[in-house]
């Protein structure tokens, strides 16, 4: 089976995208598909490059049995060459990714994570709100949206979850 390279992308790569990377990687391991995926995360901006995840995101991850161990990195147009899917956490990030993508084929790799969320009300409700300026509840809300969406994304990629 071919390796599928997926990047989760938010604005600064310290809150939502590291959570999404950890959740998806956990689901992949849990389902026994770890050799089939390369999972990473990025930000569209340079603000936090080299920093670890926001402590509130780390606490939320730990509360769900996950560890956020990476450091923030900024996506570049060159990254699209190896990516199969660039999963944006909100519509502004998706627009920035489409602008950064060097080819029409690369633009087609951009998807919104909540496109896969069974809890999304409609096509206008596809953002995972940025919890950076909120309290713990904002991080938990983001986690819940990410977890629901990541489960469906894995299934949409043809990788069944274990019961």
| Residue 10 designated active-site | yes
Question: How far apart are the C-alpha atoms of 135 and 56, rounded to whole Å?
Answer: 8
| Residue 154 Rama label (left phi>0; alpha psi -120 to 50; beta) | alpha
The residue from 10, 56, 90, 127 that is catalytic is: 10
The residue from 16, 56, 114, 148 that is catalytic is: 16
Question: How far apart are the C-alpha atoms of 27 and 153, rounded to whole Å?
Answer: 10
Q: Which whole-number Å values give the CA distances from 130 to 4, 58, 64, 86, 157, in the listed order? A: 27, 15, 19, 18, 26
| Residue 106 designated active-site | no
| Residue 114 designated active-site | no
The residue from 54, 79, 127, 130 that is catalytic is: 130
Q: Which residues pair with 110 in a beta bridge?
A: 86
Active-site residue numbers? 10, 16, 130
């Amino acid at each position: 089976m071919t390796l599928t390279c997926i990047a989760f992308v938010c604005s600064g790569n310290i809150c939502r995208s590291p959570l999404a990377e950890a959740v998806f990687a956990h689901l992949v391991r849990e389902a026994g598909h770890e050799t089939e995926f390369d999972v990473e995360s990025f930000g569209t901006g340079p603000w936090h490059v080299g920093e670890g995840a926001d402590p509130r995101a780390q606490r939320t991850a730990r509360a769900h049995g996950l560890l956020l161990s990476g450091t923030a990195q900024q996506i570049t147009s060159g990254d699209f060459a190896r990516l199969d899917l660039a999963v944006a956490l909100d519509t502004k990030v998706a627009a920035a990714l489409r602008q950064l993508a060097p080819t029409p084929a690369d633009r087609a790799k951009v998807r919104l994570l909540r496109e896969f969320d069974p809890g999304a009300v409609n096509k206008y409700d596809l953002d995972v709100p940025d919890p950076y300026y909120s309290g713990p509840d904002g991080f938990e809300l983001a986690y819940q949206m990410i977890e629901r969406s990541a489960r469906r994304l894995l299934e949409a990629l043809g990788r069944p979850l274990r019961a």
